[in-house]
Amino acid sequence: MKIKVIIHNAPEGGFWAEVPAIPGCATQGETFEDLLQNLYEAVEGCLAVDVEIPETDATAKIVEIAI
């Protein structure tokens, strides 16, 4: 799976990044290498969050898909 991130120079030094496809998923790092490692952890953490199953009616279907 590939995902796009936006990397910014932090005003205080270092970098910060956001993942537009995952709202609220962002991280920072003092070096670019630190940022990349933190990005992997941030994305994994954001995707691991349990999402409450929405209420459905009798005609609704719930399916799981792999991405």
Per-residue pLDDT of the chain (67 residues; tens, 9 = 90+): 789 999 999 999 999 999 999 999 999 999 999 999 999 999 999 988 776 767 778 887 767 777 6
What separation, in Å, do the N-terminal and C-terminal C-alpha atoms of the chain show?
A: 7
Entry field: residues in the chain? 67
pLDDT at residue 58, as a whole number: 81
Taking alpha carbons only, the member of 33, 30, 7, 38 closest to residue 20 is: 7
Report, at the CATH architecture level, how domain 1-67 is classified.
2-Layer Sandwich (3.30)
User: What is the predicted pLDDT for the residue at 42?
Assistant: 95
pLDDT for res 67 = 65
